[in-house]
């Protein structure tokens, strides 16, 4: 068992940290939300007054933060952790950020003699709670092997995508595809319902046919068709539209830099941006169904 510090206890980070406690690790947590910290300490984690205090004695530091600027602030800021962590520390950042940002933090870590790995995740809040996330890792092979036993307690699948930044590249490709699939699934369901079909029957037909995909099979966007998904609880929880927008923006920026055509990804980005602009940014991304179907007969 390892001595771990977990930074960032949001919708994803909180359940991930909880699974580390359940796995028996010696865990210290830090978050700006006192309620989030309290929830973890009630499960057996320790807390600290400052982020610098939180990492004292840590063998492993894991972070799950909203965006690249937060990652840079935590590790590279005036009181950044890379200035105080011993060289024996393994740093795993599971935030979804620009590959260039991940590479920049990794370069600073290497210069400080610290092992760093970008390890964004796929699987959503449900996967975080169940401990069945997919970790997509970028970094040196020895760092990956060192991280694997730590990630095992939170994961169903763990991939080594390549060098620093590769985890982020694979993640934004995955999420761009997810946005396209969810948009297409919602579009097809809306068309069927407007023609009088039962959305549950149509979903089952497409699941068993060539239209089957993850968004349809396990995360159906039509309310009431599938139990336990955000669509059946007013699109609350899950992976927010605002976060999908962020990831689609990362994919778009990367495509521009690499002269890669992404016509479908660009359309998905525009759709989710329009959807967010209508006040839906705090809903699960499957709420794009509302964009296509607004109760018309």
pLDDT over threshold 90, residue 138: yes
Report the SS3 class of residue 158.
strand
Q: What is the mean pLDDT of residues 118-132?
A: 92
Mean pLDDT of 76-100: 95
Q: According to the model, what pLDDT value does residue 295 have?
A: 60
CA gap 50, 5 in Å, rounded: 12
* Amino acid 285: pLDDT: 97
Which DSSP state fits 284?
B
Contact 92, 62 (CB under 8 A): yes
Q: Which of 22, 46, 129, 171 is catalytic?
A: 171
Per the prediction, the chain carries an average pLDDT of 95
Residue 205 host element (H or E)? helix 199-207
Is 171 a known active-site residue? yes
Please determine, for residue 190, whether its predicted confidence score (pLDDT) is greater than 70.
yes
Is residue 238's pLDDT more than 90?
no
Q: What is the mean pLDDT of residues 102-129?
A: 94
pLDDT of 14 over the 80 cut: yes
21 vs 36: CA distance, rounded Å: 15
How confident is the model at residue 124, as a pLDDT? 84
pLDDT (mean) for 31-59:
95
What are the structural domain ranges in the chain? 3-162, 169-294
CATH number of 3-162: 3.40.50.720
Give the mean model confidence (pLDDT) for residues 92-96: 96
Distance of alpha carbon 139 from alpha carbon 131, whole angstroms: 22
* CATH code that applies to domain 169-294: 1.10.1040.10
pTM of the model: 0.90
Res 297: pLDDT: 39
pLDDT band at 84 (very low <50, low <70, confident <90, very high): very high
CA dist 220 and 213 (Å) reads 10
Report pLDDT for 237.
84
């Amino acid at each position: 068992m390892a001595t771990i510090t977990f930074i960032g206890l949001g919708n994803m980070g909180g359940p991930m940290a909880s699974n580390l406690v359940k796995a028996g690790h010696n865990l210290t947590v830090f978050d700006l939300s006192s309620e989030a910290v309290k929830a973890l300490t009630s499960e057996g984690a320790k807390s600290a007054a400052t982020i610098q205090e939180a990492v004292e004695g840590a063998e492993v530091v894991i972070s799950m933060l909203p965006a690249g600027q937060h990652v840079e602030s935590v590790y590279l800021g005036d009181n950044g952790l890379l200035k105080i962590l011993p060289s024996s520390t393994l740093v795993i950042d599971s935030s979804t950020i620009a590959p260039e940002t991940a590479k920049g933090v990794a370069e600073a870590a290497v210069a400080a003699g610290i092992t760093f790995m970008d390890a964004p995740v796929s699987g959503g809040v449900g996967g975080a709670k169940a401990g069945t996330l997919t970790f997509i890792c970028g970094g040196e092979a020895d760092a990956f092997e060192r991280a694997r036993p730590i990630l095992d307690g939170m994961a169903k699948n763990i991939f080594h995508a390549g060098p620093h930044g590769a985890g982020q590249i694979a993640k934004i490709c995955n999420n761009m595809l997810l946005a396209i699939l969810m948009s297409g699934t919602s579009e097809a369901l809306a068309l069927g319902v407007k023609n009088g079909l039962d959305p549950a029957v149509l979903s089952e037909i497409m699941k068993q046919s060539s239209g089957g995909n993850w968004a349809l099979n396990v995360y159906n966007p039509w309310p009431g068709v599938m139990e336990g998904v955000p669509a059946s609880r007013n699109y609350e929880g899950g992976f927010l539209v605002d976060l999908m927008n962020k990831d689609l923006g990362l994919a778009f920026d990367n495509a521009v830099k690499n002269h890669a055509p992404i016509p479908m990804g660009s359309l998905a980005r525009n759709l989710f941006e329009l959807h967010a602009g209508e006040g839906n940014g705090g809903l699960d991304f499957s709420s794009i169904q509302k964009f296509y179907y607004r109760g018309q007969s």
